[in-house]
Homo-oligomer: A and B are copies of this chain.
Amino acid sequence: MEGGGGGGEEWLRPMDAEQLRECGHRMVDFVADYYKSIEAFPVLSQPGYLKELLPDSAPRQPDTLDSIFDDIRQKIIPGVTHWQSPNYFAYYPSNSSTAGFLGEMLSAAFNIVGFSWITSPAATELEVIVLDWFAKMLQLPSQFLSTALGGGVIQGTASEAVLVALLAARDRALKKHGKQSLEKLVVYASDQTHSSLQKACQIAGIFSENFRVVIADCNKNYAVASEAVSEALSIDLSSGLIPFFICATVGTTSSSAVDPLPELGQIAKSYDMWFHIDAAYAGSACICPEYRHHLNGVEEADSFNMNAHKWFLTNFDCSLLWVKDKSFLIQLLSTNPEYLKNKASQANSVVDFKDWQIPLGRRFRSLKLWMVLRLYGVDNLQSYIRKHIHLAEHFEQLLISDSRFEVVTRRTFSLVCFRLVPPTSDQDNGRKLNYDLMDGVNSSGQIFITHAVLSGKFVLRFAVGAPLTEEQHVDAAWKLLQDEATKVLGKMV
The answer to whether B1 touches A384, judged by C-beta atoms less than 8 angstroms apart, is yes
The answer to whether A80 touches B160, judged by C-beta atoms less than 8 angstroms apart, is no
The answer to whether B112 touches A83, judged by C-beta atoms less than 8 angstroms apart, is yes
The answer to whether A105 touches B359, judged by C-beta atoms less than 8 angstroms apart, is no
Q: Nearest residue in B to A341 (C-beta to C-beta)? A: B451
Give bound CA distance, A252 to B75, whole Å: 39
Provide the residues of chain B in CB contact with A182, threshold 8 Å.
Answer: 182, 205
Cβ-based interface call for A19 (8 A)? yes
The answer to whether B379 touches A23, judged by C-beta atoms less than 8 angstroms apart, is no
The answer to whether B21 touches A62, judged by C-beta atoms less than 8 angstroms apart, is no
Q: How far is the CB of A41 from the nearest CB of chain B, in Å? A: 11
The answer to whether A111 touches B83, judged by C-beta atoms less than 8 angstroms apart, is yes
- Contacts of A358-389 to chain B: CB distance below 8 A: 358-361, 363, 367, 371, 373-380, 383-384, 387
The answer to whether A98 touches B13, judged by C-beta atoms less than 8 angstroms apart, is yes
Cβ-based interface call for A416 (8 A)? no
Cβ-based interface call for A481 (8 A)? no
The answer to whether A461 touches B17, judged by C-beta atoms less than 8 angstroms apart, is no
Cβ-based interface call for A99 (8 A)? yes
Cβ-based interface call for A446 (8 A)? no
Provide the residues of chain B in CB contact with A101, threshold 8 Å.
Answer: 20, 24, 105, 108-109
Interface of A (DSSP majority class)? helix
Cβ-based interface call for A487 (8 A)? no
Cβ proximity bits A59-103 to B, threshold 8 Å, 1 near / 0 not: 111110101100010011111111110000001001111111110
Q: Nearest residue in B to A368 (C-beta to C-beta)? A: B108
Give bound CA distance, A24 to B105, whole Å: 9
Provide the residues of chain B in CB contact with A358, threshold 8 Å.
Answer: 159-160, 163, 199, 203, 358
Provide the residues of chain B in CB contact with A453, threshold 8 Å.
Answer: 338
Cβ-based interface call for A179 (8 A)? yes
Cβ proximity bits A395-428 to B, threshold 8 Å, 1 near / 0 not: 0000000000000000000000000000000000
The answer to whether A68 touches B126, judged by C-beta atoms less than 8 angstroms apart, is no
The answer to whether B76 touches A203, judged by C-beta atoms less than 8 angstroms apart, is no
Provide the residues of chain B in CB contact with A130, threshold 8 Å.
Answer: 58
Cβ proximity bits A121-160 to B, threshold 8 Å, 1 near / 0 not: 1110110111011101100000000000000000011111
Apart from the given pairs A15-B84, A56-B129, A96-B109, 10 other A-B contacts in the complex at a CB distance below 8 Å = A20-B101, A35-B109, A56-B133, A58-B136, A81-B120, A104-B108, A108-B108, A167-B203, A195-B340, A204-B205
